[in-house]
Amino acid sequence: MVAGRPVPFIKDVPIPSAMSIPLSERVAIPELGPDDDGREVVVAGWIQEVRDLGGIAFVELRQGTETGQIVLPKGKVDEDTVDTLVEANRESVAAIAGTVQESDEAPGGFEVLPDEAELLNEAQTPLPMGVVDRVDTDVDTRLENRFLDVRKPEVQAIFAVRAAAVEGGRQWLQEEGFTEFTSPNIIGAASEGGTDIFEVQYFEETAYLSQSPQLYKQMMMATGLDKVFEIAKYFRAESHNTRRHLNESSAFDCEVAFIDDEDDVLWVLENLVHAITSFVDENCTEELELLDHEVTVPDTPFPRVTYDEALDWTADDVEEEVAWGEDLSTEAEYALGDIMEEKGHEYYFITKYPDECKPFYAQPEGEELSRSFDLGKSGMEVTSGAQRVHDPDLLRQRIEEMGADTEDFEDYLKPFTYGMPPHGGFGLGIERIVMEMLDLHNIREAVLFPRDRDRLRP
């Protein structure tokens, strides 16, 4: 064979297979029941547990979040078949061809009596962590062994809910006429300011990982695509270590053109949150049951609390008072979360922030305020957004005021000089809202493979 050449596909020559049990005929365990008594089936999955009682043994075979029982009355079942299953290490993958039997004593009212069993892949022992052990596992150990962790039904449920949240949000945005787009994650200028960003080598140049699609989605506002969104990745090089921060996170990033003011954006956001929560509520019944958690679908519109009100209301509850003009402290955010909870609101907007604590692209209002807002959920900031500046002269002035060079922003500024409508938007953190919906204690639980200060693998 010539090195580097692909092996030609030869028609009519089957790929050799060790499988004597046809996996393609596999039936899903949840689809079986006592009514299938007598049916010949193929089942396959992970051997979760073996209970060998001597003359009879039981194997719990897991498929996804469900398990089914394989019964092995010794003497009645072929000895090799019994040994294959009973001697396999936990979490090995096995296939079984056999007959469904109705049984009052079996979980689910049925069990499979095998004719044949085959170990498809034996799990080594000891396992780096148990899937069904009666001991807890640290989040760190779980993340190191995510493939095992996700075998747990309650962990699978988290990611099913996350997928549903994304699906529900995307569906609603599409119905509302939003166009989904994709912006580059590798960018040439560290443009947005604020947080630290990651540098990457881009051939002979230094490039950066984008901290948000902010500037790109604004550019789209000059195109006639009046409503856009991206399921965006945020890369942020902040070396924080908290239960609510990641260095790589995801968000619904939306932008809308031809708005009167930021209230038009708030409408989109509150309805998006409503769509996400109600989609999860309607489509994740089993998952929420597994997680023993209910999702509250908030009423719209959400209450609007101004920044001034937020300061005023929380003044007595915080040890260190927030000076006017500063962003709300974490302490004040939680205090406000409690106050809103008491009033019966999990979700609420904080509006009319001082201009000085918001970025250059936020539309100022009057002398000191800005048309910026955050969405809070029980004290957690899940979104921030604003009406944007669309006047190029004001934008240049604000870039200079923050001490940056307008030269670095020419790509961004260009669309503003050739017809840019008033617009605004927001970024809704997906991990944050999943974390909040499910009351997870660590945001790392809401991502499969989190990137944080000290975690770059797996």
Partner RNA sequence: GCCCUGGUAGUGUAGUGGCCGAUCAUGCGGCCCUGUCGAGGCCGCGACCCGGAUUCAAAUUCCGGCCGGGGCGCCA
444 is catalytic: no
> Binding residue for RNA (CB under 7 A) from 27, 36, 49, 167?
49
Q: φ, ψ for residue 297 (rounded to 5)?
A: -90, 115
Q: Which of 26, 245, 293, 455 is catalytic?
A: 245
SS3 content of the chain, % helix, strand, coil (to 5): 35, 30, 40
Tokens describing residue 4: 């580097």
Q: What is the CA radius of gyration of the chain?
A: 28
Q: Which of 191, 250, 378, 384 is catalytic?
A: 384
* 248 vs 308 by CB, closer to RNA: 248
212 is catalytic: no
* 140 vs 439 by CB, closer to RNA: 140
Instruction: Tell me which residues in 225-254 interact with RNA (CB under 7 A).
Output: 234, 236, 238-247, 249, 251
Contact characters 162-201, RNA, x per CB under 7 A: --------------------------------xx------
Tokens describing residue 154: 């309650």
Contact characters 347-376, RNA, x per CB under 7 A: ----------x----------------x--
Residues 6+ apart with CB under 8 A from 162: 430, 434, 446
212 scored as a contact of RNA (CB under 7 A): yes
The piece of 31-39, 50-58, 307-315, 336-344 that touches RNA (CB under 7 A) is 50-58
Q: Minimum Å distance from CB 330 to RNA?
A: 3
Q: Is the peptide bond before 458 cis (omega within 30 degrees of 0)?
A: yes
Q: Minimum Å distance from CB 290 to RNA?
A: 15
Q: Which of 90, 162, 170, 236 is catalytic?
A: 236
371 is catalytic: no
Instruction: Tell me which residues in 71-130 interact with RNA (CB under 7 A).
Output: 71, 73-76, 89-90, 103, 105-107, 111, 125-130
Contact characters 421-450, RNA, x per CB under 7 A: ------xxx-xx--------xxxx------
CB 432 within 8 A of CB 382: yes
Task: With CA atoms as reference, report the closest residue to 169 among 245, 215, 230.
Answer: 230
Contact characters 314-353, RNA, x per CB under 7 A: ------------xx-xxx-x--------------------
Within 13 Å of residue 172, how many CA atoms lie on the same side as its CB? 21
**Total binding residues for RNA by CB under 7 A?**
78
Q: Which of 167, 238, 309, 365 is catalytic?
A: 238
The Cα 333–Cα 311 span in angstroms is 10
DSSP conformation class of 332: H
384 is catalytic: yes
DSSP conformation class of 452: B
151 is catalytic: no
CB 70 within 8 A of CB 112: yes
Tokens describing residue 236: 């942020």
Q: φ, ψ for residue 384 (rounded to 5)?
A: -135, 155
Report CA-CA distances (Å) from 15 to 10, 93, 94, 236: 10, 21, 21, 47
236 is catalytic: yes
* 65 vs 383 by CB, closer to RNA: 383
The Cα 261–Cα 278 span in angstroms is 27
Task: Please list the active-site residues.
Answer: 236, 238, 244-245, 381, 384, 432
